[in-house]
């Protein structure tokens, strides 16, 4: 894919030359412009995959370039160059539609990765576009279902992603289907005959995770009585799924980075480099960009993992999927012929599903465990779900409140409100605290704690 066409617009000639040489070495077809006006002339005549433009330039600045590209060739990816300490401009540009920015002085590796990722993204969006015209409605792929626009887009992209061998990062709230997506990518790829190994990075203490992933040699630490192969070796020619990657300890991140960079690693206590060919699919419900800010996650690793990004939106942002999911899970629980009334489906549609598809699946399982009825009405729905609907109508609107000229005591108001909700929930649940807590979406302990705080018995 190295045949990307790139235009560099940068008035500092030496910078322009360095960049252009670097990218030509990578095999790209590079053109240069030495100021904004020349850049715009070239953009009018030719189409580029990527345009890298300085922000501050005579005649026409980076923003003008960006605007021109968005107008003439919106598919072209624009990357801004910014001087050290002026990232705000670059961020404004990203809000307008630039893809990313690079900072002077240049870090060569960073540029290579940004450009490579940008090209992957461009290729993928081109393919998805042709696919979209071919396949109008795909509601199912492997075990994944969804008919919302967002889900259909994801379902259409997955076969393409499976074809490529790039690393994939899957993000999204808990219970959104990240693991299902990872499975689908593996199953549709040519690696399907080989292993798919899932590792939950949050489930192991640090040392153990390292020996699980990379293996160890006899005598490397107390208890290492035999040589042991790690999961990376076991996944040879297959895929490894690093779940909860945001929880991987920093020193292991460095070791993982090396595997991603040159496909090799050493067992703990080992002296020999081991080469592997493993596709890395990772997932997290954390925001890795925030984790990078906090110093918990390596930026270079992030770029390596995130060559292709799949973001699964929360269920509440794709409510069109809910009826389809209800139908699907009803079928799974041996409940053929049984169905939900329209009112009951509507309650499901309006519920916020903070636990996403997993919560919905569990709710349906619970319903069929507790009732034999053929037709599921609102009455049969779990307490917290129908309770949510009942409470929602009572929540106050912005127009309902008033603040007098000498102000209000917000703490007192909130305490009063909290007391009312606690009492109401107790009433609705006939004094069963566990149920009342569920109605308020708080834990039993928290509920008890609050009752105590207000002296409610
Ligand atoms: N689009 C979907 N179609 C069918 N089933 C789904 C879909 N999305 C999720 N599920 C089901 O919901 C449950 C949760 O999905 P999954 O384990 O993939 O979520 P996750 O994003 O990995 O969650 P976590 O972050 O908690 O690990 C699973 O039982 C899965 O089968
Ligand atoms: Mg998961």
Secondary structure letter of residue 88 according to DSSP: H
Note whether 264 and 166 are same-domain residues.
yes
Give which of 201, 212, 213 is closest to 249, Cα–Cα.
201
Rounded CA-CA distance 44/325 in Å is: 48
Pairing of strands 144-145, 140-141: antiparallel
Contact indicator for 139, 146 with CB cutoff of 8 Å: yes
The enclosing domain of 428 has a CATH number of: 1.10.10
Q: Which ligand is nearest to the CA of 184?
A: 1
The tokens for 38 are 């020349």
Pairing of strands 144-145, 274-275: unpaired
Domain finish residue from 279, 313, 347: 313
Q: Quote the pLDDT of residue 90.
A: 86
Look at residues 68, 93, 108 and tell me which one is the last residue of a structural domain: 108
- Both tokens assigned to 49: 């995959």
Does residue 353 lie in a domain region? yes
Q: Whose CA is nearest to atom 9 of ligand 1?
A: 177
Q: Are residues 286 and 356 in the same domain?
A: no
> Are the beta carbons of 207 and 248 closer than 8 angstroms?
no
At 26, which CATH number?
3.40.50.2300
What secondary structure letter does DSSP report for 316? G
Residue 364 shares a structural domain with residue 426: no
Do 205 and 329 lie in one domain? The reply is no
Residues 16 and 147 in one domain: no
Residues 6+ apart with CB under 8 A from 313: 150, 172, 176
Residues 169 and 293 in one domain: yes
Other C-beta atoms closer than 10 Å to the C-beta of 71 total 9
In a domain, residue 202? The reply is yes
Gyration radius from the chain CA atoms: 27
How far apart are the CA of 151 and the centre of ligand 1, in A?
A: 13
Q: Is 67 in the pocket of ligand 1 (CB under 6 A)?
A: no
Ligand nearest 146 Cα, by number? 1
Q: Find out whether the beta carbon of 350 lies less than 6 Å from any atom of ligand 1.
A: no
pLDDT for res 133? 47
User: Is the CB of residue 178 below 6 angstroms from any atom belonging to ligand 1?
Assistant: yes
pLDDT confidence of residue 301: 95
Task: Decide: 357 in ligand 1 pocket, CB within 6 A.
Answer: yes
Residue 122 belongs to some domain of the structure:
no
Same domain, 157 and 169: yes
Domain identity same for 15 and 141? no
> Does 25 fall in a domain?
yes
- 228 contacts: CB under 8 Å, gap ≥ 6: 211, 215, 216, 267
Query: Is residue 153, in this structure, part of any structural domain at all?
Result: yes
DSSP string, 142-192: TTEE--SHHHHHHHHHHHHHHHS---EEEE-STTSSHHHHHHHHHHTSTTT
Residue nearest to atom 24 of ligand 1 (CA): 174
CB atoms within 5 A of ion ligand 2 belong to 178-179
> Of 313, 342, 357, at which residue does a domain stop?
313
Same domain, 211 and 300: yes
210 and 69 in one domain?
A: no
And the tokens for 413? 């108001």
The rounded Å distance from CA 207 to ligand 2 centre is 22
The Å distance, Cα 351 to ligand 2 centre, comes to 22
pLDDT at 336: 66
Instruction: Check if the beta carbon of residue 146 is closer than 8 Å to that of residue 318.
Output: yes
Q: What is the pLDDT of residue 136?
A: 44
Judged by DSSP in three states, 448 sits in: helix
Residue 49 maps to a domain: yes
Residues 162 and 248 occupy one common structural domain: yes
CA of 80: how far to CAs of 53, 97, 104, 217, in Å?
Answer: 5, 11, 11, 47
Taking CA atoms only, the protein residue closest to ligand 1 atom 5 is 144
Instruction: Say what the pLDDT of residue 135 is.
Output: 46
Write the CA distances from 135 to 151, 161, 181, 324, integer angstroms.
14, 16, 19, 19
The predicted pLDDT at position 1 comes to 44
pLDDT per residue rounded down to tens, the chain (457 residues) = 447 999 999 999 999 999 999 999 999 999 999 999 999 999 998 889 999 999 999 888 999 999 999 988 888 999 999 987 778 888 889 889 999 999 888 888 889 989 998 998 888 877 766 565 444 456 888 899 999 989 999 999 999 999 998 999 999 999 999 999 999 999 999 999 999 999 999 999 888 999 999 999 999 998 899 999 999 999 999 999 999 999 999 999 999 999 998 899 999 999 999 999 999 999 999 989 989 988 999 999 999 999 999 999 999 999 999 999 999 999 887 666 788 999 999 999 999 999 999 999 999 999 998 888 888 999 999 988 988 876 766 655 556 677 888 888 888 889 889 999 999 999 999 898 988 998 898 888 889 999 998 888 7
Closest ligand 1 atom to residue 144 Cα is: 3
pTM reported for the whole predicted model = 0.68
Domain holding 263, by residue range, is: 135-313
CATH number of the CATH domain containing 324: 1.10.8.60
Give pLDDT, residue 275.
95
pLDDT at 397 (0 to 100): 58
Instruction: Give how many domains the chain has, as a whole number.
Output: 4
10 in a structural domain: yes
Q: Does 337 share its domain with 381?
A: yes
Residue 81 lies in a domain: yes
CA proximity to 378, closest of 409, 348, 406:
348
């Amino acid at each position: 894919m190295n045949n990307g066409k790139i235009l560099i617009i940068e008035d500092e000639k030496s910078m322009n030359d360095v960049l252009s040489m670097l990218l030509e070495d990578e095999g790209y077809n590079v053109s240069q412009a030495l100021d904004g006006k020349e850049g715009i002339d070239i953009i009018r005549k030719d189409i580029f995959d990527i345009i890298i433009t300085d922000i501050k330039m005579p005649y026409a600045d980076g923003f003008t370039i960006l605007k021109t590209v968005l107008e003439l060739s919106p598919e072209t990816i624009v990357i801004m160059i910014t001087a050290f300490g002026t990232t705000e401009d670059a961020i404004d540009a990203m809000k307008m539609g630039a893809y990313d920015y690079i900072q002077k002085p240049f870090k060569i590796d960073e540029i290579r990765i940004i450009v490579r990722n940008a090209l992957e993204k461009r290729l993928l969006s081109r393919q998805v576009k042709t696919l979209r015209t071919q396949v109008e409605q795909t509601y199912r792929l492997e075990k994944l279902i969804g008919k919302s626009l967002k889900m259909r887009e994801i379902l259409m992209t997955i076969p393409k992603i499976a074809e490529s061998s790039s690393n994939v990062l899957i993000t999204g709230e808990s219970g959104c289907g990240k693991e299902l997506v990872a499975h689908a990518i593996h199953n549709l790829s040519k690696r399907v005959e080989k292993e798919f190994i899932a590792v939950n990075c949050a489930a192991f203490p640090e040392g153990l995770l390292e020996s699980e992933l990379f293996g160890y040699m006899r005598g490397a630490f107390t208890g290492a009585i035999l040589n042991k192969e790690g999961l990376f070796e076991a996944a040879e020619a297959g895929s490894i799924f690093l779940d909860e990657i945001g929880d991987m300890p920093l020193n292991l991140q460095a070791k993982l980075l090396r595997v991603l960079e040159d496909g090799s690693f050493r067992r703990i206590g080992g002296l020999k480099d081991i080469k592997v060919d493993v596709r890395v699919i990772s997932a997290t419900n954390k925001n890795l960009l925030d984790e990078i800010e906090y110093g918990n996650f390596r930026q270079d690793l992030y770029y390596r993992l995130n060559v292709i990004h799949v973001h699964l939106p929360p269920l509440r942002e794709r409510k069109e999927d809910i009826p389809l999911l209800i139908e699907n899970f009803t079928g799974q629980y041996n409940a053929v012929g049984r169905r939900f009334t329209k009112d009951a489906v509507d309650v499901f549609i309006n519920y916020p599903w903070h636990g996403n598809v997993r919560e919905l699946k569990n709710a349906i399982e619970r319903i069929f465990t507790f009732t034999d009825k053929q037709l599921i009405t609102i009455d049969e729905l779990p307490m917290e779900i129908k309770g949510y609907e009942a409470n929602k109508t009572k929540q106050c609107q912005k127009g309902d409140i008033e603040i007098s000229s000498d102000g209000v005591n917000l703490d007192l108001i909130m305490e009063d409100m909290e007391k009312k909700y606690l009492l109401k929930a107790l009433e609705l649940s006939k004094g069963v605290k566990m149920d009342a807590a569920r109605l308020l979406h708080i834990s039993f302990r928290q509920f008890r704690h609050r009752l105590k705080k207000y002296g409610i018995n």
